[in-house]
Amino acid sequence: MSKGPDSKASPSPRRARLLWTMLGAMVLVGVLPLIISHYILTGINRESLETLEKKYLTRSAVTIATEIQQLIATNARQLNEIAASLRIVRKGLEDGTDPFIYAAETRWVAEYMSTESDLLALRVLNPAGRGAEARPAELDATILQDMDLAREVALKGQTFTGTLRHITSLNQPAVVMGTPVTDDSKRVIGTAVGVVSLRRIAEHIRDEGKGDVTAFLVDRNGNVLIHSEPSINVQRPNFSHLPIVQEFAKAPVRLTTSYVDDQDGRKEKVLGTVAPVGRPEWGVVVQKPEARAFVSVSQMLRATIFWTSIALGLAILVAIVFASGISRPVRALAEKTREMASGNYEQRVEVKARNEIGDLADDFNAMSSAIQESIEQLKKAAHENHLLFINSIRMLAAAIDAKDPYTRGHSERVARYSIAIGKNLALPEREMRNLRISALLHDVGKIGIDDRILRKPGALSEDEFDVMKGHPVKGAAIMSGVAQLVDCIPGMKYHHEKWSGGGYPDNLEGEAIPMQARIVAIADTFDAMTTNRPYQKAMELGYVVEKIKSFAGTRFDPKVVDAFERAVKRGDITIEEQVRGAA
């Protein structure tokens, strides 16, 4: 499309308009990514801050729960060691000597009551209630009752872990644990019961509950066992009304969530986490007011909302002014370009913009027209070249066949039969093209064979046959100088090889024979058997098919023979009457 005189005389207005359009696009592209990245970073920072706070609370609760688990497990092992010691002592004593009485007499039980040990009291008794005991002078009645209960359970062969108790006389929490003492035959011969101090746990909970953080230990019924605030620790309240305690009562699993704490009639949203101890079924709860936990998040969100609102308003104004001036024509050009890239060269763009985009649309239309015309010319030239090439090959094949009146049209027929077999083998298009040319030229080497040998009406002598066997190699040598025929040479050179070996020129066998040659070999043999020759008459189609099938696995590839048979049954291969009557 040619440009008018105005477009050449005054390019400046168009460029100025495009400049403003591009400026608007740059502003839009510059602001939006800033806003988007700001929001993304804000979201990431918010998630990071919240995650850190949750991790802190979770880590605190899990640390305390783990410490309780380790304390219970350690003292359980110590009681088991005491039970094992009694079993060993029993073996070393004289028959009839009670190891529990021996323990009372030797006072070795007191050795376990060190200042570093968590055991506040220890009792090892036989079933009759006799044995050794080490404990403070005063113990709460509830502790003594738990020790008696632990002994009864242990005598039944079971371990025991009691309820957390606050020992008033010692001003510390504790729990009673018991284990059976058995002999080598696993028969219960006594019990070992200890009072385990939880003072270290109570100190840890108090240390964790400093500042805005509250920490406490509860059971499945919501009863507070240890609390970080001394006043609440004394009151022993029930916190089953807290949502996080209710969730723990349903299933003792680790959980971090936000909920409302209405303690003392004052509702406050808090962030809390609970970590189960396991055995016993206690839970460690650590919580913090959400407003204080996420104070930095709130400040960041307020600032983000303010500045984002301003940036978004400016971006919208810029988008309204400039987007329509550049998006529509560019979109149209992009759509037409995609159509053109897919092979549709008839595309044209109608853009009314009087700027460089309009010029670009005109140039695109001109380019599209030129490419479409060039493509059509190339297609026509390629088709003509292909026809010229194929016809030249056919003329060369016909010239070779003309040297022997009995083989007139032989190469064309072999090519036709080969294509039919290749079709039933589902060969790709490129291989079918190479197969056709290879079949047409399979006897091109006969151009170098003496006519007396080619036209000899009778059987060839051994020397003459040796000369005739050289035509595949000669044909390959002749055509090797043509680069476009390199992929067609295997069919020319090896079509006289045999599947089981013994063919010529290279005595190949099996899969070593190229597929082209395997196909041409059957097509060549079929044409020789179905046309009149000086030494034989044309044979019937059915006989020839069966004969070729009998050569499967010896002379021919069985797979190619099957494809040949399918081609005959489908009518892809037929024998023309003029071929039968050829002299």
Q: Are residues 169 and 220 in the same domain?
A: no
On the question of pLDDT at 526 being above 90, the answer is yes
Asked, for residue 350, whether it belongs to a domain, the answer is: no
pTM value is: 0.47
Specify the CATH number for the domain of residue 486.
Answer: 1.10.3210.10
- Segment 361-388, tens digit of pLDDT: 666 667 766 776 777 766 666 555 555 5
Asked, for residue 60, whether it belongs to a domain, the answer is: no
Looking at 293, 316, 343, which one is the last position of a domain? Answer: 293
Looking at 126-140, 141-155, 291-305, 515-529, which range is the least confident one? 291-305
Whether 238 and 222 have beta carbons less than 8 Å apart is answered as yes
Q: Are residues 425 and 492 in the same domain?
A: yes
Q: Are residues 130 and 227 in the same domain?
A: no
253: number of Cβ within 10 Å? 11
Q: Are residues 422 and 519 in the same domain?
A: yes
What pLDDT, on the 0 to 100 scale, is given for residue 319? 56
Asked, for residue 82, whether it belongs to a domain, the answer is: no
Q: Are residues 428 and 564 in the same domain?
A: yes
Total domains in the chain come to: 3
Out of 199-208, 440-449, 468-477, the most confident range is: 199-208
Residues 358 and 303: their CA atoms lie apart, in Å, by 44
CA dihedral over 28, 30, 34, 37, signed as positive or negative: positive
Residues 534 and 582: their CA atoms lie apart, in Å, by 11
Residue 227, token pair as written in the block: 């609390």
Per-residue DSSP letters for 196-227? EE-HHHHHHHHHHT-TT-EEEEEETT-BEEEE
The dihedrals phi and psi of 284, each to the nearest 5 degrees, come to: -100, 120
Domain that holds residue 98: 93-200
Looking at 234, 268, 293, which one is the last position of a domain? Answer: 293
Q: Are residues 460 and 568 in the same domain?
A: yes
Residues 396 and 444: their CA atoms lie apart, in Å, by 8
Asked, for residue 318, whether it belongs to a domain, the answer is: no
Q: Are residues 127 and 183 in the same domain?
A: yes
**Between 295 and 445, residue with greater pLDDT:** 445
Q: Closest Cα partner for 178 from 202, 201, 199, 194?
A: 194
Q: Are residues 282 and 410 in the same domain?
A: no
Calculate the alpha carbon distances from 372 to 360, 363, 366, 384 in Å. 18, 14, 10, 18
Specify the CATH number for the domain of residue 121.
Answer: 3.30.450.20
Q: Which helix (H) or strand (E) holds 44?
A: helix 11-92
Helix 541-550 vs helix 515-529: crossing angle, to nearest 10: 140
Helix 410-424 vs helix 429-440: crossing angle, to nearest 10: 160
Looking at 48-52, 91-95, 441-445, which range is the least confident one? 48-52
Residues 237 and 227: their CA atoms lie apart, in Å, by 10
Whether 254 and 265 have beta carbons less than 8 Å apart is answered as no
Asked, for residue 305, whether it belongs to a domain, the answer is: no
The dihedrals phi and psi of 11, each to the nearest 5 degrees, come to: -75, -20
What pLDDT, on the 0 to 100 scale, is given for residue 13? 45
Q: Are residues 256 and 276 in the same domain?
A: yes
Looking at 240-249, 348-357, 398-407, 468-477, which range is the least confident one? 398-407
* Arithmetic mean of pLDDT over the chain: 79
Sheet arrangement for strand 224-227: 224-227, 214-219, 282-289, 268-276, 255-261
Pairing, β 172-182 against β 160-161: antiparallel
Helices (DSSP H) in 347-499: which residue ranges? 356-401, 410-424, 429-440, 451-454, 462-468, 471-479, 489-493
Q: Are residues 174 and 236 in the same domain?
A: no
Looking at 234, 265, 293, which one is the last position of a domain? Answer: 293
Residue 194: helix, strand or coil by DSSP?
Answer: strand
**Between 422 and 316, residue with greater pLDDT:** 422
Asked, for residue 395, whether it belongs to a domain, the answer is: no
Q: Are residues 435 and 560 in the same domain?
A: yes
Please give the angle made by the CA atoms of 579, 581 and 583, to the nearest 5 degrees. Answer: 95
Is residue 102 classed exposed, middle or buried when 0-12, 13-18 and 19+ CB atoms within 10 A define those classes? middle
Asked, for residue 48, whether it belongs to a domain, the answer is: no
Residues 158 and 179: their CA atoms lie apart, in Å, by 7
Q: Report whether the peptide linkage leading into residue 280 is cis, meaning its omega lies within 30 degrees of zero.
A: yes
Asked, for residue 46, whether it belongs to a domain, the answer is: no
Q: Are residues 450 and 502 in the same domain?
A: yes
Looking at 14-23, 142-151, 219-228, 521-530, which range is the least confident one? 14-23
